[in-house]
Structure 1
């Protein structure tokens, strides 16, 4: 082999080595960038989860007052109701629903109870914040006497840092049964109020300016027509939001919204294609009966 051919072969080998080296360096750089992005996502999700966790429950920092004088009053003033609201989480509707006003002391204890926050899974990708006692037993808050058609909303459920929450409509107040859509792969079904009572927060909402009979009719229609519906978070995006009396898909807040929309009440406060628990909590068509674990002045 001549010297020229040897030199040419050597140059080709050196070029090949350089290309392999550059390719290896590029692959290494790409892998490093991928790891950085993945780490950033993980850290970001962790921070988002921490923020959601810290905001899952409000406990009053103001003074817990002696309510004894208010238990003995024959008639409560507007100022009395306002004070009781900030001490117990019960609005006038909630206070007046109590058979024995001494129950206010139990609601006050619950309202100021800090508890130990922990998690359980509400769905495969959705943990929720619940409360335990210092001894590690589950804590269940006292829920105001309910009526058919009442709405329960919580912000304790969160998915990848988004506080999506959960909502349900009371269909049987005596047995404390609610109708709800719980998550992907399931169909809407009956649940229990205790699920909300175990959470770190919840709201009890009621339709304004509607008779008890009408609210009961809404609940009855929901129980008869909105059970067994396939779950889809994208209801309203890829199909009609208002599906009238024959919904094909639904999700928790959409199910509640659909029940009231059937009777002419649009409780989606922002009117967008996706109705959220937050949208329902902010609806001007609804009034608060009980606040638990939320700031009574800011709610959601």
Structure 2
């Protein structure tokens, strides 16, 4: 039953993507719409999905959080003054267990990397002309009442800025709906983007090293702590 549901969600993702490709997009984004999907899902992926769902549910239970719905609204970049709900500092990781970067994501949650107190970089799916890696206002706590911020233990200010620069390099890349392809560098889902920004600095934030990196995975390892 779980496998059938997961396969259905992936099939829906392909269907949604095909529909979105027919919509008008900005000129600079036209070449970013050609997203490929593998015909076979790697062994162990379903187990990772179930593990991620279980870990997310336990996080919500332990933190005594209420589920929140994703606010699908356009936001300004570099809002002034500091936005209500601003969280974290440069290079920090923002996490909500109940939001979604894409309605097709088989494991709940959403993650972002903090640029500064005014803005974040996030990967969002199924949002037409704002699909993929974009700047968003750092009002994460306003959008998600259950949000928390995490910092990489021992990281210097220079390393944190480098992680942000890595994420900036991927701006306007498309959304990666093949969640088991976390090593792709031409498309990103939310937690994959944050993971990659730090991975390229030699910091492994995927605590179980699976074929997918779920938002909850970014919070469970020994290299981060809640702030």
TM (norm. structure 1) is: 0.45
Q: CA RMSD in A?
A: 3.2
More RCO (CA 8 Å, sep 6+): 2
1:268 and 1:147 map into 2 onto residues whose CA distance is: 21
1:169 corresponds to which of 85, 90, 113: 113
Of Structure 1 and Structure 2, the greater strand share is in 1
1:183 aligns with 2:125: yes
Change (3 A) 1:57 1:183: farther
Change (3 A) 1:142 1:195: closer
For each residue in 1:255-281, what CA deviation from the matched residue of structure 2 results, as whole angstroms up to 9, or x when unmatched?
Answer: 001100111111001101110001111
1:283 aligns with 2:224: no
1:234 and 1:265 map into 2 onto residues whose CA distance is: 23
Alignment-derived partner of residue 227 in structure 1:
171
Q: CA deviation at 1:221?
A: 2.6
Change (3 A) 1:141 1:266: same
CA contact (8 A) 1:229 1:248 kept: yes
1:161 and 1:222 map into 2 onto residues whose CA distance is: 21
Alignment-derived partner of residue 254 in structure 1:
192
CA contact (8 A) 2:69 2:98 kept: no
User: What secondary structure, in the 3-state scheme, does the structure 2 residue paired with 1:260 have?
Assistant: helix
Structure 2 unmatched runs, 5+: 1-56, 74-82
CA contact (8 A) 1:189 1:228 kept: yes
CA contact (8 A) 1:268 1:275 kept: yes
Alignment-derived partner of residue 70 in structure 1:
none
TM (norm. structure 2) is: 0.59
Structure 1 unmatched runs, 5+: 1-51, 61-113, 124-139, 290-300
Of Structure 1 and Structure 2, the greater helix share is in 1
Q: CA deviation at 1:151?
A: 0.7
For each residue in 1:238-264, what CA deviation from the matched residue of structure 2 results, as whole angstroms up to 9, or x when unmatched?
Answer: xxx334xxx211100000011001111
CA contact (8 A) 2:68 2:145 kept: no
- How many residues are treated as equivalent by the alignment? 156
